[in-house]
Amino acid sequence: MPHLTPEQEREIDALRAESVATRRATVPALEEILYQAIPLLDHGFIRVIDYMGDDGAVVQAARVSYGRGTRHARDDAGLINYLIRHRHTTPFEMCEIKYHCKLPIFVARQWIRHRTANVNEYSARYSILDNEFYVPAPQHLAAQAADNRQGRGAVLGGAEAARVLDLLRADATRAYDDYLDLMNQDATGEVRDPGRQGLARELARMNLSLNFYTQWYWKIDLHNLLHFISLRADAHAQHEIRVYARALLETVRRWAPLTCAAFEEQRLNGAHLSASALAVVRRLLAGEAVVPETSGLGKREWRELMTLLSRLG
Amino acid sequence: MPHLTPEQEREIDALRAESVATRRATVPALEEILYQAIPLLDHGFIRVIDYMGDDGAVVQAARVSYGRGTRHARDDAGLINYLIRHRHTTPFEMCEIKYHCKLPIFVARQWIRHRTANVNEYSARYSILDNEFYVPAPQHLAAQAADNRQGRGAVLGGAEAARVLDLLRADATRAYDDYLDLMNQDATGEVRDPGRQGLARELARMNLSLNFYTQWYWKIDLHNLLHFISLRADAHAQHEIRVYARALLETVRRWAPLTCAAFEEQRLNGAHLSASALAVVRRLLAGEAVVPETSGLGKREWRELMTLLSRLG
Amino acid sequence: MPHLTPEQEREIDALRAESVATRRATVPALEEILYQAIPLLDHGFIRVIDYMGDDGAVVQAARVSYGRGTRHARDDAGLINYLIRHRHTTPFEMCEIKYHCKLPIFVARQWIRHRTANVNEYSARYSILDNEFYVPAPQHLAAQAADNRQGRGAVLGGAEAARVLDLLRADATRAYDDYLDLMNQDATGEVRDPGRQGLARELARMNLSLNFYTQWYWKIDLHNLLHFISLRADAHAQHEIRVYARALLETVRRWAPLTCAAFEEQRLNGAHLSASALAVVRRLLAGEAVVPETSGLGKREWRELMTLLSRLG
Amino acid sequence: MPHLTPEQEREIDALRAESVATRRATVPALEEILYQAIPLLDHGFIRVIDYMGDDGAVVQAARVSYGRGTRHARDDAGLINYLIRHRHTTPFEMCEIKYHCKLPIFVARQWIRHRTANVNEYSARYSILDNEFYVPAPQHLAAQAADNRQGRGAVLGGAEAARVLDLLRADATRAYDDYLDLMNQDATGEVRDPGRQGLARELARMNLSLNFYTQWYWKIDLHNLLHFISLRADAHAQHEIRVYARALLETVRRWAPLTCAAFEEQRLNGAHLSASALAVVRRLLAGEAVVPETSGLGKREWRELMTLLSRLG
């Protein structure tokens, strides 16, 4: 099933064909993909709809200068790196971006927990949801991890995987059929049986399952977007939201490349060490043979520290 | 089915039996119901878990005085009324309350849009959800309103209502059964078939429908709580969340009675008139016979104004 | 003294001379004044630095449609009016604007209380503040209102006004001279007396008075901007911040004219009536002669209601 | 000059003498200092006015359990440490605390930048400010640091220090005298010269300098309080606000000792390493002799890393 209808694609093409003059800071690399849907999962996407500011706006805010910031990329990169390293976050709040996202409801429920953003969601009180639901690709049908209540374990084998996929598809299909039946409407809103009234939309929607797709406009500033990405692109995040977080990161790379590079260097690929972990590192550097029992760390923290220190560059 | 398990009731009783000394502002009328579940819908509830401040704290903040505020209830009531009337909202932010709520997921999705609150939700990534789903009472099985895309119309008749209830129950029951089947577990987490791995919890949950109950801790300040109530106890809100909003209002009545009275007088039972509506009122008071065509109002606003002006006191 | 230095004016001219192509929603009426300083008070200003979205973006968010919203201005106006009337605020959060503001510190202290905005302020820890302080124009030298602790009364007469202006100027001038003296620097950062060390900037600044000008970048969404304006353009707000709020309103008029018109009609020139005030209006419309004593209103609320009802259209 | 007037001390004593019964979670170690002023700088203080929750509430929220959380301190400490280490911040938002703070205006201006708190400040539009201003103790009269625009350098010597103190005192004294003169009132609000009107309070206040004390009620949740402390107790923060941040930390130690310990271990005394810094550590551990030129770090980051790694445990 396609991610966009032909009508939606025509509308996007029409928007992309228009171009007007502006005095605002403009980012050609982002303009290039403006309005375009980046397909994610089986029916989802994100699209950049609008943006304000760029790396220069971060620099400008940091300097509270009158112009658009110095044009010397080297200085700007150094300043931006410094700002991220020392947690001077407010200059990054001076840039804003707006996305149109289509995502499964259970992903939307995690996503919405980030409160420092603006959201307008498609309303199933007013409108009928499309018959689109998420079914994981076979390679993402993970079993429950045995040693960790949160994570995923091995991928399910062929027979069990097939059974799981059958169940998910069958239940979602039935849920949608009955959703329409409850409303006594078809997916375009046409009444089916004139002899029945049909349940109100705001009630019928409760029959849909959490893998159905919803969509929203989502607007956020650059600082909070990076914070969202740092939490949701993390290895501990659920695969389905991580897919979105990584796609968001790629749009940041186009939009504010200096900020994106500093963020990856300082935050995404950096690590926070506790006081005890720092002490262990110091002892190791001094040539001491530290073992878990003398490290002052819990088992889990010890394991995480060792992984971190042995990771290839 | 009961709203609480016997074990939960015992825990609540134990908490309620304890009492310790404090120097903090304390509200006996709220202490009376502390921890108790107020049943809502078929399996939901709210419980007040903790609170900070009272009407006196509002007054104290308004005066930035050193004491707990004047003890003259009359002055306090006047001041609180004045603060609400003139939108001086910050003193009401000085009071905080924490609830434990159990609510259908589709209600939770509306609720969470209020961003100025703190939330900890039961996680279906870690834990197995209970087999509890919302089915409307027959008198709330409303048809779609013919003249208004959002609202509800007449209540469904007997046969159609029965069919709707059957569908909702059957689909939710099957969704839950298959949820357990996908995980290869029973509701207590016991493995069913040792020959299968079972799908990860974070994936299996997507098979549940939006009428299943979730629960969370929800903490909010008094100002933002009143704002939530004013939007969600409103006639335009969906019945299922209105039930919760009204229960919240009753807890405010116990907690901060002066604030609650002023809020109902000024906001909940007051009304906002546009410039044109005010002009109509002035012309009517001057004895002019205003008709919709000469009112300067749209049809819908005219109708709402006439309803407002003719409402019995 | 001019509001901008010649260097700043040159930089603004250079920015205004540049124009590039964009696919984003663009507002020619706002582009027209982009970067330009709108002078306020004796040395202050606001400048629009950047913006995202327009009336169409509000409509688009309300419809969560794929295009830029319908092009029928009449429908859009009606929808926007409806959204404001029914407090559907999230679509207005989809537009964002950024200002550069120069304002007295005591105004900045009121302004910053609005928390739903992004701010980068000129830092007197790092830099030396300019020798610019606010002195009210003679017609704004108000006496304390006798009947109202907050408001202003009559304008001070000639001799007393002259004395006030002399005092304000003399004290600010001395404060600035001693600020430089404490740092042992001149206003450009040159050391004055090589034999002295000079106090750290972050300490020396404490000698400046609250009428000195500061400046910041301030970024806010359209909904919260309108909320700011409704509070700060209000008759109860202090004159000095009202001047800024009104200038902000004029920029909204250029940026989102439909939203601005609906806001003025519904909010700025509308009024909120309490339950008791509504009851009085109903009794008056029924021909009853209501007097303060039988109105159920406090003296102040009665007076305000009578003023409201007798105001000319 | 004392930090509190005798009348304020009597009111505090009266509040502390009262004790009532509550079913809420209560923290004896915090009750012990409830309402008491902790003196800071020359005239400032903080006082804990109210609180909600404790370490147990954090645990409870993390488990969304029905009771007050497990009573096994060891488990709780481990869970709290885990939550802080993995940035699970929402459970800490379930605790709330309210302070009464008296602080110089220039400190208040830094403080207020933290937006996720509730504030009610003493209003100089309505009331007359007291004649209290901050003058640094001689050991804090720092010169501007030569190598760092933000920081402080050496302490000023005797003669220069004396001159600075004289200037600060003389200017603040004159500012206050003229503040009263402008209003034609004394500090208690009595009119001085019946023949003059006096300038409105909201205008006269602009003559006061930034070292005058203001006061406010400040309410914040535990997560955001720790974030405030981590930024403002930091070595890069200005001494005057650091004094407050450290006093806040001491109240957290009483209130939520497990959280406080985990916060100090994980955040306050931990450190964040960038990807390149981690690579350097790995190379050092592998026995490689890394020098600044081959480190891939900027000069400043290299210096900071070396300091960190050589710091004594």
Angle at A18 between CA A12 and CA A22, to 5 degrees: 125
In angstroms, the Cα distances linking C192 to A164, B67, C177, C196, D152 are 80, 50, 12, 8, 19
Q: How far is D280 from chain B (nearest CA, A)?
A: 37
Contact between chains at C207 and D142 (C-beta distance less than 8 A): no
Running DSSP on this structure, what letter comes out for residue C115?
-
**pLDDT of the residue at D63:** 87
Size of interface A-D (CB pairs under 8 A): 82
Per the rule left: phi > 0, alpha: psi between -120 and 50, beta: everything else, B296 is left
Running DSSP on this structure, what letter comes out for residue D174?
H
**pLDDT tens-digit series, residues D79-128:** 999 999 999 999 999 999 999 999 999 999 999 999 999 999 998 888 89
* Architecture in CATH of C1-130+211-270: 2-Layer Sandwich (3.30)
D143/D155 Cα distance (integer angstroms)? 6
Q: Residue B313 is nearest to which of C282, C310, C313, comparing CB atoms?
A: C282
In angstroms, the Cα distances linking C52 to A51, C25, C267, D129 are 7, 8, 23, 42
Cβ contact C127:C204 at 8 Å? no
Q: Residue B276 is nearest to which of C265, C272, C274, comparing CB atoms?
A: C265
Most C CBs within 10 Å, among A88, A96, A127, A215, to test the C interface: A96
Residue D221, beta-bridge partner list:
D96
What phi and psi, each to the nearest 5 degrees, are found at residue C143?
Answer: -80, 165
Size of interface C-D (CB pairs under 8 A): 147
Cβ contact D208:D242 at 8 Å? no
What's chain B's Rg over C-alpha atoms? 24
Is the confidence at residue B152, as pLDDT, over 90?
Answer: no
Query: From the candidates D232, D242, D267, D282, which is the catalytic residue?
Result: D232
Q: Which residue of D has its CA nearest to B99?
A: D94
**pLDDT tens-digit series, residues C242-296:** 999 999 999 999 999 999 999 999 999 999 999 999 999 999 999 999 999 999 9
On the 0-12 / 13-18 / 19+ scale of CB atoms within 10 A, A177 is: middle
Most D CBs within 10 Å, among C125, C206, C216, to test the D interface: C206
On the 0-12 / 13-18 / 19+ scale of CB atoms within 10 A, A242 is: middle
C154/C172 Cα distance (integer angstroms)? 25
Contact between chains at A272 and D266 (C-beta distance less than 8 A): yes
**pLDDT of the residue at C145:** 77
Q: Residue D274 is nearest to which of A265, A282, A300, comparing CB atoms?
A: A265
In angstroms, the Cα distances linking C184 to B100, C194, D238 are 60, 9, 20
Cβ contact A165:B140 at 8 Å? no
Q: How far is C127 from chain B (nearest CA, A)?
A: 33
Amino acid identity, position C205? R
Running DSSP on this structure, what letter comes out for residue C130?
P
Closest listed residue to residue C263, CA positions, set C228, C219, C308, C301: C228
**pLDDT of the residue at A312:** 55
End-to-end Cα separation, chain B, in angstroms: 41
Contact between chains at D143 and C200 (C-beta distance less than 8 A): yes
pLDDT category of residue B149 using cuts at 50, 70 and 90: low
For A120, the 3-state DSSP assignment is strand
Cβ contact B135:B211 at 8 Å? yes
Contact between chains at A164 and B104 (C-beta distance less than 8 A): no
Q: How far is C88 from chain A (nearest CA, A)?
A: 10
Q: Which CATH number does D1-133+212-270 carry?
A: 3.30.1360.170
Residue D44's CB is within 10 A of a number of other CB atoms, namely 24
What's chain D's Rg over C-alpha atoms? 24
Cβ contact D282:A313 at 8 Å? yes
What phi and psi, each to the nearest 5 degrees, are found at residue A241?
Answer: -85, -25
Q: How far is C35 from chain D (nearest CA, A)?
A: 26
Q: Which CATH number does B1-130+212-270 carry?
A: 3.30.1360.170
Average pLDDT over residues A270-290: 95
Report percent pLDDT > 70 for chain D.
Answer: 93
Q: Residue B209 is nearest to which of A142, A209, A238, comparing CB atoms?
A: A209
C16/C31 Cα distance (integer angstroms)? 9
Length of chain D: 313
Q: Residue A278 is nearest to which of D113, D270, D279, comparing CB atoms?
A: D270
Q: What residues of A are in contact with residue D87 (Cβ under 8 Å)?
A: 231
Q: What residues of C are in contact with residue D148 (Cβ under 8 Å)?
A: none
Q: How far is C215 from chain A (nearest CA, A)?
A: 8
Q: Where are the alpha helices (DSSP H) in D64-145?
A: 73-85, 105-111
Report percent pLDDT > 70 for chain A.
Answer: 93
Most B CBs within 10 Å, among A177, A193, A197, to test the B interface: A197
**B193 is written with which tokens?**
């078939």
Partners for B (CB, 8 Å, 3+ pairs)? A, C, D
Closest listed residue to residue A104, CA positions, set A248, A3, A207, A212: A212
**Residues of B at the C interface, defined by Cβ within 8 angstroms:** 78, 81-82, 85-87, 90, 113, 231, 236, 264-266, 269-279, 281-282, 284-285, 298, 300-301, 308-311, 313
Q: Which residue of A has its CA nearest to B148?
A: A126
In angstroms, the Cα distances linking A203 to A185, A191, B107, B172, C289 are 14, 17, 11, 14, 48
**A14 is written with which tokens?**
């029409």
Is the confidence at residue B90, as pLDDT, over 50?
Answer: yes
What phi and psi, each to the nearest 5 degrees, are found at residue C38?
Answer: -100, 110
pLDDT category of residue C313 using cuts at 50, 70 and 90: very low
Closest listed residue to residue D291, CA positions, set D304, D306, D278, D312: D306
* Interface predicted TM-score of the whole assembly (ipTM), two decimals: 0.94
Angle at D18 between CA D17 and CA D22, to 5 degrees: 140
Q: Residue D274 is nearest to which of A236, A270, A301, comparing CB atoms?
A: A270
**C175 is written with which tokens?**
């404060």
Closest listed residue to residue D144, CA positions, set C130, C198, C126: C198
**pLDDT tens-digit series, residues C44-79:** 999 999 999 999 999 999 987 544 444 555 689 999
**pLDDT tens-digit series, residues B233-284:** 998 899 999 999 999 999 999 999 999 999 999 999 999 999 999 999 999 9
Cβ contact D88:D67 at 8 Å? no
C197/C191 Cα distance (integer angstroms)? 9
Cβ contact D212:D178 at 8 Å? no
Contact between chains at D208 and C210 (C-beta distance less than 8 A): yes
Closest listed residue to residue B172, CA positions, set B124, B121, B207, B122: B207
**pLDDT of the residue at D3:** 81
Contact between chains at A164 and B182 (C-beta distance less than 8 A): yes
**B12 is written with which tokens?**
């609540």
Running DSSP on this structure, what letter comes out for residue C148?
-
On the 0-12 / 13-18 / 19+ scale of CB atoms within 10 A, C177 is: middle
Query: From the candidates C47, C201, C205, C232, which is the catalytic residue?
Result: C232
A301/B12 Cα distance (integer angstroms)? 36
Please identify which residue in the block is written with the tokens 């300490």: C203
The rounded average pLDDT for each run of 10 residues, N- to C-terminus, in chain D (313 residues) is: 83 94 98 97 97 96 64 77 94 97 98 94 90 96 73 85 97 98 93 93 97 97 98 94 98 98 96 96 94 93 93 57
Q: What residues of B are in contact with residue D20 (Cβ under 8 Å)?
A: 21-22, 26
A112/C156 Cα distance (integer angstroms)? 55
Cβ contact B258:B55 at 8 Å? yes
Q: What residues of D are in contact with residue B23 (Cβ under 8 Å)?
A: 15-16, 18-19, 31, 34-35
Q: Tell me whether residue C47 is one of the annotated catalytic residues.
A: no
What top-level class would CATH report for the domain A1-131+213-270? alpha beta
Amino acid identity, position D267? R
Contact between chains at D275 and A285 (C-beta distance less than 8 A): no
Interhelix angle for D299-310 vs D275-285, to 10°?
Answer: 50
Q: Residue C15 is nearest to which of A67, A94, A221, comparing CB atoms?
A: A67
Torsion of CA B133, B139, B143, B147, to 10 degrees: -130
**pLDDT of the residue at A183:** 96
Give the range with max mean pLDDT: C51-55, C119-123, C194-198: C51-55
What phi and psi, each to the nearest 5 degrees, are found at residue B275?
Answer: -55, -45
Q: What residues of D are in contact with residue A273 (Cβ under 8 Å)?
A: 270-273
Q: What residues of C are in contact with residue A225 (Cβ under 8 Å)?
A: none
Q: Which residue of C has its CA nearest to D163?
A: C182
Q: What residues of D are in contact with residue A270 (Cβ under 8 Å)?
A: 272-275, 277-278
Interhelix angle for A158-183 vs B158-183, to 10°?
Answer: 160
Q: How far is D290 from chain B (nearest CA, A)?
A: 44
Residue D38, beta-bridge partner list:
D46
